Amino acid sequence: MRATQFLNEYEDPNQAKQEILATVGSYDPNDEEQAKLIDRVYSIVQKNGVVDRFLPVVSSKLQGEYNDAAIKTIAEKIVASDRLNIQQKNEFLDLLQANKCVNTRTFLTDGHYSISDIFNGPLVEQMFLEFMDFGAGQQRAGKGEHALAILSTDISQKGTGDIDVNGTPVELKVASSAKVGAGSGRMGEGGVSKERVLAVLNKFPEFQQPLEGYFGSGKKTMNLKLFVDMCNKIEFGQGRRKAVGDAIFGQVFDNPNANPDAVLDAYIAQNFEWYKANPDMGGAWQIMCSLAIGAASMITCSSGKSLNQLRKSGALYSGIPSLIPSQAPEVFFQPNPTRK
């Protein structure tokens, strides 16, 4: 299919083609090899139904217009990308046409994956990066969501999660920074302010001196493990430890000399299950994936238990949540994958 044939919905196909070639820049329409690449890109983008997989996030009033514009933009980005040469682009298109760009199993099976486990070779990795910001922010779409829908016919945004992978709704978190260890999204929205937590603790006189000593030294926050250590040093009267636990986050301190690691496990597991069960936190998803560009890796988990197992195996940076935060969202765990 020639580019002019594909663009017959435009009022002036020749003008549209000239606009596209101007955008593409260095490509010469009179060069047979380059012309074939342009035509092939348009044909595959159209036949693979790329745009249809993320149109649900676009207002119905804009779908017709956005369909044409999106196909044009996607094709332009592939053709004009300076990440690959012509030969490499044709090799990438072979994979795209055969739906062999993405190993969707990595989004559905609990585990720690390298970028090469997720994408079928460096050419696909580069095109994912090319499209990572594409559509981000439109109708609450996050980074990487459109890119995955473009790369795989098995991934769309038609479901109840950030993306739908072979019919399974998936919550997708992407740390797009090239810095290793850069933070992805936290497991929750909103959070609890420092003032609110301190107001709860001020109801227990046992905390007055320990908190004054801690924050009097210039510290601004207190993470979960440090709080458990503080509780272990306080001589609580009968029933008071349980009352503290109930007031803060349930009954995790309902035993003397609580193990900070065990409390952290319980906290993270409860955070995950609460996040998963709350439809206001990204939709009714079943599996969570956290993809880190800097670490070139991803973790996939379906339960709080699985998340803790990954954390203990070294698949995640420690990232201990702050019980007394400087910013409200810090009370939620942030799943940041390590390099595999």
3-class SS at 175? strand
* Contact criterion met (CB below 8 Å) for 102 and 151: yes
Residue 12 has pLDDT above 50, yes or no: no
Answer yes or no: do 223 and 325 share one domain.
Answer: yes
Kindly state the tokens that stand for 257: 């000399």
CB of 231 within 8 A of CB of 241? Answer: yes
Q: What is the pLDDT, as a whole number, of residue 281? A: 72
Q: Which domain holds residue 89?
A: 1-98
Greater pLDDT, 184 or 333: 333
61 burial via Cβ count (<10 Å: 0-12, 13-18, 19+): exposed
Contact status, residue 136 vs residue 142, Cβ threshold 8 Å? yes
Pair (42, 124) in one structural domain: no
Say whether both 166 and 25 belong to one domain.
Answer: no
84 lies in the same domain as 107: no
Residues 133 and 85 in one domain: no
Mean pLDDT of 14-18: 51
Last residue of a domain, one of 75, 98, 121: 98
Same-domain pairing of 88 and 163: no
pLDDT at position 102:
97
Rounded to the nearest 10°, the torsion over CA 77, 79, 83, 85 is: 180
Same domain as 297, residue 187? yes
Do 307 and 258 lie in one domain? The reply is: yes
DSSP secondary structure letters along 85-105? -HHHHHHHHHHHHTT-SB-GG
What is the rounded CA–CA span in Å between residue 119 and residue 115? 6
Label residues 77-116 b or e (16+ Cβ within 10 Å = b).
Answer: bbbebeebeeeebbebbebbeeeebbbbebbbebbbbebe
Q: What is the pLDDT of residues 173-223, one digit of tens each?
A: 998 777 776 667 889 888 888 998 999 899 999 999 999 999 999 999 999
Distance of CA 28 to the CA centre of its chain: 38
In the numeric block, which tokens belong to residue 71? 């196909």
- Do 42 and 129 lie in one domain? The reply is no
Question: Which of residues 58, 77, 98 is at a domain's end?
Answer: 98
- Pair 37, 90 in one domain: yes
Please tell me the distance from the alpha carbon of residue 131 to that of residue 319, in angstroms, as a whole number: 29
* Listed residues 31, 63, 98: the one ending a domain: 98
Q: Please state the rounded mean pLDDT for residues 102-116.
A: 98
pLDDT tens-digit series, residues 241-270:
888 888 887 545 556 677 889 889 999 999
CB 148 within 8 A of CB 134: no
Pair 76, 113 in one domain:
no
Q: What is the mean pLDDT of residues 71-80?
A: 76
Comparison of pLDDT for 73 and 146, the residue scoring more: 146
- For the chain, the domain total comes to 2
Provide the mean pLDDT of the chain.
81
In sequence order, the 6+-apart residues with CB closer than 8 A to the CB of 253 are 228, 231, 241, 242, 244, 245, 263
12 vs 184, residue with greater confidence = 184
Chain centroid, CA 63 distance in Å: 25
C-beta separation of 182 from 336 below 8 A: yes
Same structural domain for residues 160 and 249?
A: yes
